Amino acid sequence: MNVDRRPDIFKSYDIRGIYPDELNEDVARRVGRAFVDYLHAPTVAVGRDMRLSSDPLFRAFADGATLQGAEVIDLGLTSTDELYFAVGHFGYPAGAMITASHNPKQYNGIKLCRENAIALSGETGVYAIRDLALADRFTPAAKRGTIVARDALPDFVTHCLSFIDPATIKPLKIVVDAGNGMAGLIVPAVFKHLPVTLIPLYFDLDGSFPNHPASPIEPENMVALQGAVKKFGADLGAAFDGDADRVFITDEHGALVGGDMVTALVARNLLRRSPGATILYNLICSRSVPEVITRNGGTPVRTRVGHSHIKKIMREQNAIFGGEHSGHFYFRDNYYADSGLIALLVVLELLSIESKPVSELLRPLDTRVRSGEINSHVADSTAKLVQLERHFDGAVIDHLDGLTIQYPTWWANVRPSNTEPLLRLNVEADDPGTLASKRDELLSIIRA
């Protein structure tokens, strides 16, 4: 059985592998049984994306869950943020999303959550479910569960629109690249309620991804969107990943806008309604982000990278919002789950209220230069981090996530990969010359 040969498909945040060699119906069935067994869940809401293997994997997962006596709520084709919404809004004790997010077409996966849309990580359930699935010693329930279909989209649309005042939205023109992913279904359902001209790119649901991979964090996958924004004179461009929970935007000129700058824009607008609120940002974000939060009366809190860390701190501190450079945007009133669609709506509301183009809104915020993430293969990550800390002994140092080195005019973070022998470097500086100099200095040590 494949699950026995490839336990490594159980990752820190989800289950993911190539179909059918690594992740297939046998694995999905066992995971469905193990998930219900682990949570003792009487009901499981299950959604799926448009990948070619998602239907058979859904059927197998549902078969396993019902064998253990659970009622499966079949949400049909949906986005990951709609799945999280459904679990929280309807009070389901568990949820699963069949998706491989931004990965290429040969992949698929399963994202798992418990009540209140609390996502399971490796330490909080995924590895335990792996062990149960590997053992494959399940006792079937006395009575098999049933499968009941439910369409959560109308309620999800109402929920998303509740984050803004639709009456304030001006007749903007935006281009949206769905990448043949689930945004092609979700985005039109929301925007039909707004006075926005929507120019769709690749809205046909197609798990073969005939146009480009649904991974907008890669600049090459944003080229079509950038061209369309310029061609149609749009106010903004937005691209979603395959399961439509992440978003990346462009300004009115087609220039790419980083996830940290979107975090700053969303924070600024949310603080209008919630003055003094706490807002989280991960430590890869620009220094401009906490500055914007403070300037607009909020309380910024710096966190490690990754949704499990951010969601935990958001709940502890009742933070209204958290943002990451990677296009994940978390909202307290969205069950602390991420939604690129809600983030996009909040940005559009800010554009409408300010009556300024995106580039003008960003000009006073986006004043520094960044390297982007640079990966380097290293034999001994720990030794390299010690070497870097000794080299920059005059810096302000912290170990919140890897090693962060801070000086008045620049900073860098070096983090080990969880899955590969890699160090991930991010540098920000006040000017291009400092950025180039410090980036090269850091890389010369990392790659020596």
Give the residue numbers marked as catalytic.
101
Work out the angle between the directed axes of helices 340-354 and 153-161 (0-180°, nearest 10): 40
Contacts of residue 15, defined as CB under 8 A and 6 or more positions apart, other chains included, come to 9, 23, 27, 31, 109, 110, 111, 112, 126
- Is the separation of the CB atoms in 327 and 340 below 8 Å? yes
Residue 187 C-alpha from the chain's centroid: 17
Q: Are 292 and 361 contacting, i.e. CB atoms less than 8 angstroms apart? A: no
What span, in angstroms and rounded, lies between the C-alpha atoms of 398 and 346?
33
Residue 130: enclosing H or E segment and its boundaries?
Answer: helix 127-135
Q: Where are the alpha helices (DSSP H) in 166-273?
A: 183-191, 223-232, 259-273
Q: What letter would DSSP give residue 182?
A: T
Helices 259-273/340-354 angle, 10° precision:
70
Q: At 407, which amino acid appears?
A: Y
Q: Measure the CA–CA gap between 285 and 278, rounded to whole angstroms.
A: 16
